[in-house]
Amino acid sequence: GAGVSQSPSNKVTEKGKDVELRCDPISGHTALYWYRQSLGQGLEFLIYFQGNSAPDKSGLPSDRFSAERTGGSVSTLTIQRTQQEDSAVYLCASSFLLRGDANYGYTFGSGTRLTVV
Amino acid sequence: ILNVEQSPQSLHVQEGDSTNFTCSFPSSNFYALHWYRWETAKSPEALFVMTLNGDEKKKGRISATLNTKEGYSYLYIKGSQPEDSATYLCAYMDSNYQLIWGAGTKLIIKP
């Protein structure tokens, strides 16, 4: 596609339920990042995928969080047994290179706003 | 602990006025400094990627400077317009390509 697409754009879920967030990066972009932004905080790194390398999961806050990237393209971020502190905007970004484009950095999706009630 | 600080946290500016805000970052292991604009309900959009000490970049009415030795970057907006209202994010990238983000400066332009 022309840009990075994320779905759903908004998700309200009950505490304890599982949720799945989807990111469709720009075609050909080998690097894909997941971030989240909680209210009043900076972007918090969650996980990145780079080509066929093992993903860097060092930012995942707990074992309730997992992510997959199938066929080097679409990625899903799964949060199991959601808690209220998981409420945040979840952003996906992609680029050709891990370090981003020299002029344009990373291309972001418009995010999924997750609210856990 | 590596930290990226942005100030001020929020800013109200009269339409037509010029403004600037700051991003402070670690001066060690520097690779690049990114600036993004994030409008509500939209995607963060890259403004500048800066790598060299003393770099100055410009895009229309927006410009940025970089001092890697002392660890700061300024973003300037000349003649603010309502469409400039957004959160401006900076991110420091180290030599391992790890990005650390500031919490942003929320800019509100008053017509």
Chain A nearest C-alpha distance from B97 (Å):
5
Buried b vs exposed e over B7-26: b needs ≥16 C-beta within 10 Å?
Answer: eeeebebeeeeebebebbbe
pLDDT tens digit at each of 111 positions of chain B: 578 999 999 999 999 999 999 999 999 999 999 999 999 888 999 999 999 999 999 999 999 999 999 999 999 999 999 999 999 999 999 998 888 999 999 999 998
CB pairs under 8 A between A and B: 56
Using CA coordinates, name the residue in chain B closest to A100. Answer: B97
Name the token pair of A81: 């047994």
Residues of A within 8 A of B58 (CB-CB) are none
Q: What pLDDT is attached to residue B24?
A: 97
Residues of A within 8 A of B42 (CB-CB) are 110
Model confidence pLDDT, tens digit, residues B28-43: 999 999 999 999 888 9
Name the token pair of B15: 């339409």
Residues of A within 8 A of B73 (CB-CB) are none
Tell me whether residues A108 and B93 touch, CB distance under 8 A. no
Q: How far apart are CA A106 and CA B101, in angstroms?
A: 13
Tell me whether residues B34 and A100 touch, CB distance under 8 A. yes
Tell me whether residues B43 and A4 touch, CB distance under 8 A. yes
Tell me whether residues A91 and B41 touch, CB distance under 8 A. no
Q: Which of A40, A98, A109 lies nearest to residue B43, judging by beta carbons?
A: A109
Q: What pLDDT is attached to residue A2?
A: 74
pLDDT band at A1 (very low <50, low <70, confident <90, very high): low
Strands B99-101 and B86-94: antiparallel
Q: What pLDDT is attached to residue A83?
A: 97
